[in-house]
Chains A and B, each alone.
Chain A
Amino acid sequence: MKKSIIKIASSAAIALSLSISSFSAMAETELTMYYPVAVGGKLTKYVDDIVDGFMKNNPDIKVNAIYAGNYNDARIKALAALKSGKPAQLSVMLSVDLLELIEQDAIIAVEDLLESDEDKKWLKSFYPSLMENATFDNKKWSIPFQRSTIVMYYNKEHFRKAGLDPETPPATWEELIAAGEKLTKDDKSQWGMMIPSTGYPYWMFGALTKQNDQVLMADGNKTFFDSQGAVDALQLWKDLSEKYQIMPKGTIEWGTLRQNFLDQKTSIMWHSTGNLSVVKNKASFDFGVAMLPAGKMRGTPTGGGNFYIFKNTTKDERQAALKLMKYMTSPKIAAEWSIKTGYMGVSPEAYETTELKEYVKAFPYAAIARDQLKYATAELATFQTGRVRKMLDDAIQATLTGEKSPKEALEAAQKSAEKVLKAYRK
């Protein structure tokens, strides 16, 4: 009896040591990556394809790419995994999650991992306005991946029927209102325009304020919600439905807006560029894409997700994660990703690839987001950004549903934001 136990134990030990040695011969690093999808479409498949391509080139690295819901879900899952001790090594999360993640002590700065000159060159290869939300304390913490701006989608057939030139979309607020009035039908079966006000109202508002030459925040610890520029911008948003009646009253749902546009219930919609490919594939009519119009100037916030590397990782895992990020942001992959989704190519080199060059030639709207970058500003991001963002969201919705005046709502939001952010000023 005893003998046989020893026999079994020793053979098990041999088997174990064999498997360990074969394991170490492969020197496999395993990475878990969470990523979100905010706009629908076949994005999960595209991510899987890219990751498969990466693993083919790097057989020593195994990547589990896990689709984690929308941006909020992805952040929650990644942080929960972190706390449970079975963490992911990297994740795509909103670029504006940065300060929150630093405060949670969850991530390390990507810049700190870079050693070679080549690496440093890579960090500089991205569009500077995409790096704004990645910067804190003069350091770059994250790497842009699925980035977007807000663009204006418009229905060319409606433009023609209303006697507007479909090739010159409205370029200023005045033109937008004039066009909207022509496009809106009296029985409201067709609206002039829609700006979504659920989901990410602060993001759309960032565009309106920037167009009014006003930013919403500075240094992550100061907000300008009650500035005259912001109040006027919110007044305009409200006026679009109340005064000019070219947009439905109440809030407009982010999730169903695209369907509204595809069903031709609205002639113009403001939405993420991340929707471009879906609209292109599904629209049964001739549509156009344009930069957002200008108030005092043009403007849009950037948006979307960046790669982050978590702190609780080994040196090998960090290097492997870096490799994966480099692959996924390399011009060729970035170009492919942009073509498939409508998200922006994150570096100028991406737009120099033959694939994207040809695609842009055949479908010029694919370059609108890039062209708009020169008017872009950072997305609202502060300390305790979730809470502060919600204060602004509530103020916007309170105004649009007629509960408060723009000034009243924004002053209240500013006051609450001030209470939270005061502690973060030195």
Chain B
Amino acid sequence: MNPKLSRHIYGWLLVTPALILLIAFTHYPIVSTFINSLFSNGTVFKQSTFIGMESYQTMIDDPIFWKVIKNNLWFALGTIPTSIALAIIMALTVNKAFAGRAFVRMAFFTPTVLPMIAVANIWLFFYAPEIGLINNVLEFLGLEGKNWLGNTSTVLPAIMVMTVWKEAGFFMIFYLAGLQSISPELTEAAKLEGAGRWYYFRRVLFPLLLPTTLFVFMNAVLNSFKLVDHLFILTKGGPNNASNLLLYYIYENAFAFFDTNYAATLTVVLLVLLSVLALSQFFFLDKKVHYR
């Protein structure tokens, strides 16, 4: 056999397993989702018909869609910077040697290990107005508690706080790994030069941690769109969609309303949104990050 041809075949054979998985679970679903979004929802009474971009028009006219997009942006804005900042502080804290370090590390990391559904069930009782931990503590301090999950103005911040608590520990692990790979000579050199701790962090540590930050940031952005488990337990998107997020709204349409085609339309939007975010991170942020 022609050696060139056989090399080609050999190559293709090697990528086949990966290709099959990618096509079956990534590319085919994307294409079929898009095709689905062009059809109306079929039932026993009404056949599914081709409606072109009509679902997209419906979506643009759908006030709940805009509400969940807005909520999602606030959710991302509220959770990402805070959890990253917290993760850095926590990592710096447990990077030093002190008695009980292992215990503190574990304490920081525990929220990450717990399943989101379990966490949400715990926080449901934290936030409960009359019997909840948070209000009882506030009451003890002489402050008036709130119906945290029952008000449109507090429900989304309440969920953000829980998410930050859950996520920060996970990001801390990456920062901890990043910190440990930084050579101690740098610290000593900075000390000799008389750099203050803040200056040292700003000019030495943080730039060296940028690759970690990019990775964490990307994860955080994706999670802010992907993670909705807690909504099932805490609020179901309520009250009046005040805490509804895009992915949860997709779920509602697909499984509570059985409107898989509208759900497909919304999914296309989510896909586009996530791809744009991922691509822009690779193209713009990557250039600014200094890798050794």
**Which A residues, 244 to 284, have Cβ-Cβ distances below 8 Å to chain B?**
248-253, 255-256, 259-260, 263, 265-266
Instruction: Indicate if A227 sits at the interface (CB-CB under 8 A).
Output: no
Do A103 and B45 have beta carbons less than 8 Å apart?
A: yes
Instruction: Indicate if A393 sits at the interface (CB-CB under 8 A).
Output: yes
Instruction: Indicate if A367 sits at the interface (CB-CB under 8 A).
Output: no
**Which A residues, 191 to 227, have Cβ-Cβ distances below 8 Å to chain B?**
191, 197-199
Do B125 and A256 have beta carbons less than 8 Å apart?
A: yes
Instruction: Indicate if A285 sits at the interface (CB-CB under 8 A).
Output: no
Instruction: Indicate if A182 sits at the interface (CB-CB under 8 A).
Output: no
Instruction: Indicate if A48 sits at the interface (CB-CB under 8 A).
Output: no
Nearest CB of chain B from residue A198's CB, rounded to whole Å: 6
**Which A residues, 333 to 360, have Cβ-Cβ distances below 8 Å to chain B?**
none
Instruction: Indicate if A410 sits at the interface (CB-CB under 8 A).
Output: no
CA distance A100 to B43 in the complex (A): 9
Nearest CB of chain A from residue B16's CB, rounded to whole Å: 26
Across-interface contacts of A46 in B (CB, < 8 A)? none
Do A384 and B257 have beta carbons less than 8 Å apart?
A: yes
Nearest CB of chain B from residue A222's CB, rounded to whole Å: 16
CA distance A259 to B147 in the complex (A): 15
**Most chain A beta-carbon contacts within 10 A, residue among B45, B125, B129:** B129
Across-interface contacts of B242 in A (CB, < 8 A)? 401
Do A250 and B151 have beta carbons less than 8 Å apart?
A: yes
CA distance A248 to B235 in the complex (A): 17
- Measured as residues with beta carbon below 8 angstroms from the partner, the interface class of chain A is 35 or more
Across-interface contacts of B268 in A (CB, < 8 A)? none
Across-interface contacts of B150 in A (CB, < 8 A)? 197-198, 248-253, 401
Name which residue of chain A comes closest to B147, CB basis: A250
Across-interface contacts of B129 in A (CB, < 8 A)? 248, 250
Nearest CB of chain B from residue A268's CB, rounded to whole Å: 14
Do A394 and B124 have beta carbons less than 8 Å apart?
A: no
Instruction: Indicate if A372 sits at the interface (CB-CB under 8 A).
Output: no
Do A401 and B240 have beta carbons less than 8 Å apart?
A: yes
CB-CB under 8 A for A259 and B131, given A104-B44, A250-B150: yes
Do B128 and A253 have beta carbons less than 8 Å apart?
A: yes
Across-interface contacts of A198 in B (CB, < 8 A)? 149-150, 235-236, 238-239
Do A387 and B257 have beta carbons less than 8 Å apart?
A: yes
Nearest CB of chain B from residue A382's CB, rounded to whole Å: 12
CA distance A249 to B130 in the complex (A): 12
**Which B residues, 144 to 165, have Cβ-Cβ distances below 8 Å to chain A?**
147, 149-152
Instruction: Indicate if B229 sits at the interface (CB-CB under 8 A).
Output: no
Instruction: Indicate if B28 sits at the interface (CB-CB under 8 A).
Output: no
Nearest CB of chain B from residue A312's CB, rounded to whole Å: 14
Interface string of B245-269 (1 = CB under 8 A from A): 0000000100111110000000000
Name which residue of chain B comes closest to A201, CB basis: B238
CB-CB under 8 A for A390 and B256, given A104-B44, A191-B130, A198-B238: yes
CA distance A259 to B125 in the complex (A): 9
Nearest CB of chain B from residue A78's CB, rounded to whole Å: 11
CB-CB under 8 A for A251 and B131, given A386-B258, A390-B257, A423-B46: no
CA distance A102 to B43 in the complex (A): 9
Do A260 and B240 have beta carbons less than 8 Å apart?
A: no
Across-interface contacts of A249 in B (CB, < 8 A)? 147, 150-151
Do A251 and B147 have beta carbons less than 8 Å apart?
A: yes
CA distance A197 to B151 in the complex (A): 12
CA distance A104 to B260 in the complex (A): 12
Nearest CB of chain A from residue B191's CB, rounded to whole Å: 53
Instruction: Indicate if A186 sits at the interface (CB-CB under 8 A).
Output: no
Instruction: Indicate if B95 sits at the interface (CB-CB under 8 A).
Output: no
CA distance A100 to B255 in the complex (A): 11
Do A104 and B128 have beta carbons less than 8 Å apart?
A: no
Interface residue from A265, A387, A403 paired with B259 (Cβ < 8 Å) = A387
Name which residue of chain A comes closest to B241, CB basis: A394
Across-interface contacts of B131 in A (CB, < 8 A)? 256, 259-260, 263, 265
Instruction: Indicate if A76 sits at the interface (CB-CB under 8 A).
Output: yes
Across-interface contacts of A191 in B (CB, < 8 A)? 130
Instruction: Indicate if A369 sits at the interface (CB-CB under 8 A).
Output: no
Across-interface contacts of A259 in B (CB, < 8 A)? 125, 128, 131
Do B44 and A398 have beta carbons less than 8 Å apart?
A: no
Interface string of B91-121 (1 = CB under 8 A from A): 0000000000000000000000000000000
Interface string of A150-169 (1 = CB under 8 A from B): 00000000000000000000
For the complex of A and B, the 7 pairs showing the least CB-CB separation, nearest first, are A250-B150, A397-B239, A265-B130, A250-B147, A251-B150, A397-B240, A398-B240
Could you list which residues of chain A lie within 8 angstroms of chain B, going by C-beta atoms?
72, 76, 100, 102-105, 191, 197-199, 248-253, 255-256, 259-260, 263, 265-266, 384, 386-387, 390, 393-395, 397-398, 400-401, 403, 423-424
9 A-B contacts (beta carbon < 8 Å): A72-B256, A249-B151, A253-B128, A260-B130, A263-B130, A390-B256, A395-B240, A401-B242, A424-B45
